[in-house]
Amino acid sequence: MTQASAAPRGQGYPFSGLVVLDLSHIYNGPYATFLMAMAGAEVIKIEPHGGEHLRVRAGLGGAALPFAMLNGNKKSVTLNLKSERGRELFLQMVRSADVLVENFAPGVTERLGIGPEVLQAENPRLIYASSTGYGRSGPYRDYPAMDITVQAMSGIMSITGFPDSPPVKSGPALCDFFAGIHLYAGIATALYEREKTGKGRLVEVSMQEAVYASLSSNLALYHGSGGKVPVRTGNRHGGLAEAPYNVYPASDGHVAIICNNNRHFHALLNAMGREDLKDDSRFRDLKTRVAHIDEIDALVSAWTQQYTKAELVERLLAHRVPHAPVRDLGEVVNDPHMHARRSLQWINHPQYGRIVVQNSPIRYEGVPPMPLEPSSPLGAQNREVFCERLGLSEQEFEDLRREGVV
């Protein structure tokens, strides 16, 4: 791919000059490549005619916002990888790319004739990044994987929810996003290594493995109880090792309060005007408080429910008690703090209207946050990539378009 422009995209940013080919879809791979774009890489999103699944759903109205959030600052091209000519064009792109990202089911790229061995033979410096539900090997390799199935398989559901309710999924699509950010991390690591060795790598992440460590508190409870399977702990500590630690009712919502130690607990008693309880033997230390967890939660609830969220926040802040109001998405999207930090920004998206999108959560001092570009319409950079970069003539390009290759 010849460089048409003088200055590489993202000049001054860490990944300036890198070219990423992005075959990924929905959340997992696209989050990884979004973060690459926001670190300065040139990301070329390659989609089948009709667009990847999330773009299709965005067109139907259900997923415009996530599509726009995850695909800003990327170029969009269409390419039929099932056609021989499409595959050839793709291999031509691979020869001067740095990274290929895909999150197909295991075996898909091999069947298309663009598996890691083929691509690395074309370009030994290529980093081939693959994310799947359960990995490229092992007995569950071909088990169906989406965020909710991996939440079920990984134990997340079994530890989320109240003890007397059915298991419930975690609201965020955390299996998808944990895999996506681990994939980005693996790519960045392999890029660093390539500076030393001159060689690319196959980097692999599975959704199941990417979420395991986040179950640490509950795994501690499982282990500490000699393998007795823990019940769901609701809003109590996942290891049932701290109290007070819960979400307590306010008159107009809920507030989370957490006391890790006596300093926090005594601050809470001060806020409650219950200094008399500091000497109560039931509440002497973390261990005795955990032993009287129901009493302590009743005591705190009786106090919190007299006040609004805002009143509680004011009192708890003044007494330096760890806490937070439970906020809804309206409050989150309009969060003054994230907007002040330019983490969130309102943009006028040419296709999807006025929306809030996020910059990269990874910040580098000395470079301003990357200016946000709206996601491209499908194939918007076809001509730029296939004619200017790959050198197709106008006639060839039109022929390929007519044949459904590009």
CB of 403 to its own copies, least distance (A): 27
Residues 24-53 close enough to bind its own copies by CB under 8 A: 27, 31, 35, 39, 53
Residues marked active site are found at: 237
Report the C-alpha gap between 30 and 87 in whole angstroms. 21
Residues 268-287 close enough to bind its own copies by CB under 8 A: 287
**Are the CB atoms for 41 and 114 separated by under 8 Å?**
no
Report the C-alpha gap between 269 and 264 in whole angstroms. 9
CB of 383 to its own copies, least distance (A): 30
Nearer to its own copies, 148 or 387 (CB): 148
Nearer to its own copies, 290 or 390 (CB): 290
One-character DSSP codes across 276-299: GGGG-GGGSSHHHHHHTHHHHHHH
The H or E element that residue 100 is part of is strand 99-102
226 binds its own copies (CB under 8 A): no
Draw the binding track, 300-329, toward its own copies (x: CB under 8 A; -: no contact).
--------------------xxxxxxxxxx
Nearer to its own copies, 8 or 384 (CB): 8
Measured CA distances, 59 to 52, 146, 347 (Å): 11, 21, 19
Task: Give the tokens for residue 319.
Answer: 């007494």
CB of 402 to its own copies, least distance (A): 29
Residues 388-398 as b/e (b if ≥16 CB within 10 A, e otherwise) read: ebbebeeebbe
Residues 157-216 close enough to bind its own copies by CB under 8 A: 157-162, 165-174, 176-178, 181-182, 184-186, 188-193, 195, 201-206, 208-216
Torsion of CA 139, 144, 149, 155, to 10 degrees: 0
CB of 106 to its own copies, least distance (A): 12
Nearer to its own copies, 122 or 193 (CB): 193
153 binds its own copies (CB under 8 A): yes
Determine which residue in the list 126, 247, 272, 370 makes contact with its own copies, applying CB under 8 A: 247
CB of 320 to its own copies, least distance (A): 8
Residue owning tokens 């298309």: 112
Draw the binding track, 364-393, toward its own copies (x: CB under 8 A; -: no contact).
xxx---------------------------
148 binds its own copies (CB under 8 A): yes
Residues 329-348 close enough to bind its own copies by CB under 8 A: 329-333, 336-338, 340-341, 343-344
| Residues near 332 by beta carbon (within 8 Å), at least 6 away in sequence | none
Number of Cβ within 10 Å of residue 196's Cβ equals: 7
230 binds its own copies (CB under 8 A): yes
Considering only 42-50, 86-94, 145-153, 390-398, which stretch makes contact with its own copies by CB under 8 A?
145-153
Residues 85-113 as b/e (b if ≥16 CB within 10 A, e otherwise) read: ebbebbbbbbebbbbbbbbbebebbeebe
Residue type, 297: D
Draw the binding track, 106-135, toward its own copies (x: CB under 8 A; -: no contact).
----------x-----------------xx
